[in-house]
Amino acid sequence: EEKEDWKKFRAGFFTASEISKLLTEPRKKGELLSVGAKTYIKSCVSELFAPPKPDFYNSAMEHGTETEPFAVMRVARELGKDMHDDNFIYTSEGGFVFYYNEEYNLGGTPDLILFDDKMICEIKCPTSDTHLDYLLLENAEDVYDAVPNYYGQMQLNMFLTETDKCLFISYDNRFYDEAHHYHSVLVPRDENYI
């Protein structure tokens, strides 16, 4: 029931994980919004009038959910942090977290928040093929080019949490060499994008 209440509360907000849909350029000249943007807006509005759609899960999503806590432990180790420190907030633990801005109707939940460092973390536990792609990302521009939807998600979450940077993390503990399990790219706050 707590999860249903959380879903009801965030209904109608444009969320960080989907915000890039609003930023897609329309194909037709003279159109204000793309087809994807219109579809996303309609979906947000329908959440206000009808129960939310059931959660969709596939094996890749299940793997990500199961693996994320291990990724969080690795992040703590890489950053020299203690997971039980008040400054190290893993948002999937101990309830539901949702930052929102009513003026712009925006909301989101970063995976980790490190307020003392004015930083958030966005953790992805993708398929091994995708993780291999992410291992090649070196800087924020690479992240923007390769995964613009995640770039948008990070920028909105930085706006909502009033932080200055986001660590984009890819984690796959299925790789044989532990050195290849974890990869991170620091993405600074981009005021022009925001």
Predicted pLDDT of residue 10? 86
- Phi and psi based region of residue 168 (left: phi greater than 0; alpha: psi -120 to 50; beta: remaining): beta
The pLDDT confidence band at residue 4, using thresholds 50, 70 and 90, is: confident
Is residue 74 a contact partner of residue 181, using CB atoms and an 8 Å limit? yes
Q: Which long-range contacts (C-beta less than 8 Å, at least 24 apart) are formed by 42-46?
A: 44/11, 44/12, 44/13, 44/14, 45/12
Res. 42: pLDDT tops 90 = yes
Other beta carbons within 10 angstroms of residue 63's beta carbon come to 16
The pLDDT confidence band at residue 169, using thresholds 50, 70 and 90, is: very high
Predicted pLDDT of residue 81? 93
For the segment 121-166, what is each residue's pLDDT rounded down to a tens digit? 999 999 999 999 999 999 999 999 999 999 999 999 999 999 999 9
Indicate the burial class of 41 (C-beta count within 10 angstroms; 0-12, 13-18, 19 or more).
Answer: middle
Residue type, 149: N
Contacts of 91 (CB under 8 A, 6+ apart): 97, 109, 110, 111, 112, 113
For the segment 76-100, what is each residue's pLDDT rounded down to a tens digit? 999 999 988 888 999 988 667 899 9
Chain centroid to Cα 88, Å, comes to 17
The pLDDT confidence band at residue 51, using thresholds 50, 70 and 90, is: confident
Res. 58: pLDDT tops 90 = no
pTM over 0.75: yes
Distance CA 78, CA 173 (A): 15
The pLDDT confidence band at residue 8, using thresholds 50, 70 and 90, is: confident
The pLDDT confidence band at residue 35, using thresholds 50, 70 and 90, is: very high
Rounded mean pLDDT of 159-177?
97
What mean pLDDT, rounded, does the chain reach? 92
Rounded mean pLDDT of 39-54?
87
Q: Say what percent of the chain tops pLDDT 70.
A: 98
Chain centroid to Cα 110, Å, comes to 6
Distance CA 176, CA 162 (A): 38
Predicted pLDDT of residue 61? 78
Higher pLDDT, 53 or 74: 74
